[in-house]
């Protein structure tokens, strides 16, 4: 009898020690598995990197009003609304002192963007991101009740917007986005009154429609910019010290390690001569951030490598 009991207990123990298919499947995620552990670590480092990217400097050019509805200053209004929304996000830097006499229309020829000219202007201004925009369509309508002592008059406006985002260092377009916005306004007027004057209401409604379209664009614009690699430049060299053109405002921190790279080469299509972009520069070494200087600069020291030059690119390591 005791032998049967011992056999029964031993059988239960053996069964409990066998791994179920579900357990065997879960064991593939065992942190002792080197490949999957490395993959998990890579995801964690990518997450931290995306949270700690310094802010990128950018310029938004006045939009091109590519419609027959010639609303005064609507292109600059659209650009101002986009800049206002991006500034509120606190994820980019739009230098207030940077000005350009050019607008989106100056960089467009037919259906094509003059990328090489646009990128040259961005490099001249010392920014990492450029945004151009186009107002493709504006519609304005009015309608009114046919009967009644007090009649409801309604004015409506809608606008279609497009933006293109460019990475200045890479010399290429990163994203093209489009968005529509609408606005309406109603009023009760006496039966003998005329329809609401389009000239009086159109400008206000069109701007409201543009503002709504811009608000819909901003989250996608920010996501696109955050995917770009942050880059700065060496502004001045002094022995083993180097000053870079980014600091506290940009989000650099003491102890950050920066890669130093050459500028890379501009690449053109040999057949058409079209500008294709800029190749990745060569790694020269690294710098360590020591302290902040000025409004938005940093003092660094040579960490590895050498032969650095003023104007060399820097990126977070």
Closest by CA to 255, choosing from 201, 313, 316, is 316
Q: What tens digit of pLDDT does each residue of 247-290 get?
A: 999 999 999 999 999 888 888 888 877 888 788 889 999 999 99
- Whichever domain contains 298, its CATH number is 2.40.10.410
Of the listed ranges 78-82, 143-147, 213-217, 304-308, the least confidently predicted one is: 143-147
Domain of 174?
56-226
The answer to whether residue 44 is domain-embedded is no
Of the pLDDT bands very low, low, confident and very high (cuts 50, 70, 90), residue 163 is very high
The answer to whether residue 33 is domain-embedded is no
* Whether 58 contacts 19, CB under 8 Å: no
Give Cβ neighbours of residue 215 (< 8 Å, ≥ 6 apart): 85, 181
Of the pLDDT bands very low, low, confident and very high (cuts 50, 70, 90), residue 139 is very high
Number of domains making up the chain: 2
Pairing of strands 313-316, 257-261: antiparallel
Q: What tens digit of pLDDT does each residue of 80-134 get?
A: 999 999 999 999 999 988 888 899 999 999 889 999 999 999 999 989 999 999 9
Looking at the structure, tell me whether residues 168 and 275 fall in a common domain. Answer: no
Cα Rg, the chain, nearest whole Å: 29
Looking at the structure, tell me whether residues 222 and 124 fall in a common domain. Answer: yes
Q: What tens digit of pLDDT does each residue of 211-228 get?
A: 999 999 999 999 999 989
Model confidence, pTM: 0.76
Looking at the structure, tell me whether residues 211 and 253 fall in a common domain. Answer: no
Looking at the structure, tell me whether residues 194 and 290 fall in a common domain. Answer: no
């Amino acid at each position: 009898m005791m032998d049967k009991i011992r056999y029964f207990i031993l059988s239960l123990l053996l069964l409990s020690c066998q791994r179920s298919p579900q357990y065997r499947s879960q064991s593939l995620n065992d942190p002792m598995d080197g490949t999957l552990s490395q993959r998990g670590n890579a995801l964690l480092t990518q997450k931290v990197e995306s949270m700690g990217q310094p802010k990128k400097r950018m310029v938004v050019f006045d939009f091109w009003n590519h419609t027959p509805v010639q609303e005064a200053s609507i292109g600059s209004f659209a650009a101002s609304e986009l800049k206002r929304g991006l500034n509120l996000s606190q994820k980019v830097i739009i230098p207030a002192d940077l000005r350009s006499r050019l607008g989106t229309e100056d960089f467009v020829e037919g259906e094509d963007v003059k990328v090489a000219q646009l990128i040259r202007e961005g490099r001249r201004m010392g920014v990492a991101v450029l945004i151009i925009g186009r107002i493709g369509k504006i519609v304005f309508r009015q309608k009114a009740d046919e009967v009644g002592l007090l009649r409801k008059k309604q004015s409506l406006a809608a606008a279609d917007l497009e933006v293109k985002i460019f990475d200045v260092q890479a010399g290429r377009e990163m994203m093209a986005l489009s968005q529509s916005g609408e606005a309406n306004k109603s009023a009760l007027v006496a039966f003998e009154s005329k329809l609401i004057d389009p000239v009086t209401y159109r400008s206000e409604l069109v701007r409201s429609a543009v503002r709504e379209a811009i608000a819909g664009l901003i989250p996608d614009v920010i996501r696109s910019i955050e995917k770009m690699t942050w880059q700065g430049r060496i502004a001045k060299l002094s022995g083993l010290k180097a000053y870079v053109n980014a600091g506290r405002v940009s989000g650099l921190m003491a102890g950050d390690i920066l890669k130093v790279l050459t500028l890379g080469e501009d690449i053109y299509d040999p057949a058409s001569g079209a500008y294709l972009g800029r190749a990745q520069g060569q790694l020269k070494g690294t710098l360590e951030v020591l302290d902040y200087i000025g409004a938005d600069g940093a003092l660094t020291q040579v960490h590895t490598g050498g032969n650095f030059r003023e104007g060399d690119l820097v990126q977070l390591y």
